Structure 1
Amino acid sequence: MTHQVHAFEPPERFVAGTVGAPGERTFFLQARGGGRLVSVALEKVQVSLLAEKLEELLSEAQRRFGVELPEAPVAVGDNDPLDNPVDEEFRVGTLGLAFDVDSATVVIEAIAAGESEVEVELGDDDEADEDDEDEEPDEDLDRLRVRLTPEATREFIERARRVVNAGRPPCPLCGQPLDPAGHLCPRHNGYHR
């Protein structure tokens, strides 16, 4: 079976966003450019980890290669909803990150989950996974590849953090999300106040 590589180098817009009400949200990465629109679904924890690891990657690029990094945006940047239609191309299983020193850009690669893939991995683009032989090789999986400047990466990080934090507020006692319909807090042993 053939695979597709959706490459945006650079995209006109690359954002993390959601569809649905808090508690029932589906998270997406969406890239737009050259008349194309690609949306891939992923988990909330993947969006959160992606923002965290991108921040670490920028810091490491500055430390090792002397890349000048922009300050975190003070004003709210792109706060628009996802572009329509939001058609899921695939569900992300693995996220790869790399820094291209020659062009001083960040490369993000979202790779589709394989048939037998159970866990979510976040690793460097250059590292090879040494998993079971039955798994599909990464070359046979669809992928979304985006190349961003450090400024665009900072904007992506800030928006991703806002999207993750825009969900249900946490319970002050146990930290689990509070549902509008109510919450049985384990700290109260199942009893309401």
Structure 2
Amino acid sequence: MDWKNPDGSLTRGVVIEDGAGNKVASFGGGGGGGGSVSVSNFPATQAVSWSGQSVSLSGTLPAFATTPAFTLGAALPAGANLIGAVNLDIGGASVSLNNPVPTTESYASIATGQVSVTASATQVVAARAGRKEVTIVNHATTSVYIGGSGVTAATGLLLAGVQGQGITVTGGAAIYAIAASGSETVSFLEVY
């Protein structure tokens, strides 16, 4: 890089200017994230921009401040550091707790099957960590009751005896069913 001096001569190398076209006369100080930097021959107003391991200066300092000193703060400690808030503006609407960004969940796998449910508690699906939901559908006209391993007709959730009647349950717990009488086939579709 060439910098043209006021006398018309050229200076080769890296030249720091003060924003008004004047070469900075001296620049010194520490580095490595915790040192201080001394700069002289700057105009009256300065601003400091930090990017990685470099500092850029611009602006004007008051006339009495001929040698500003900049102290670089210590690095943030490892781990989560809550520094402030981030404001997002998507499509003209601010994102907030009351106006969240709509999302669509996506799951990689499904499992299907059929189970013959009798008059004693029968496992329809086993427990599965990470399951989003399971839909259970009654195949005929006998009512079925859904619940945990101790489900009974008195304690279970009714899946009416209507062919095609279904219920969707969220979470990863094992699901059992019991038929009101005899046996009944139910099918399931599990999303995980």
TM category, shorter: under 0.3
Higher helix share: 1
TM-score, normalised on structure 2? 0.18
Rg bigger for which structure? 2
TM-score, normalised on structure 1? 0.18
Higher strand share: 2
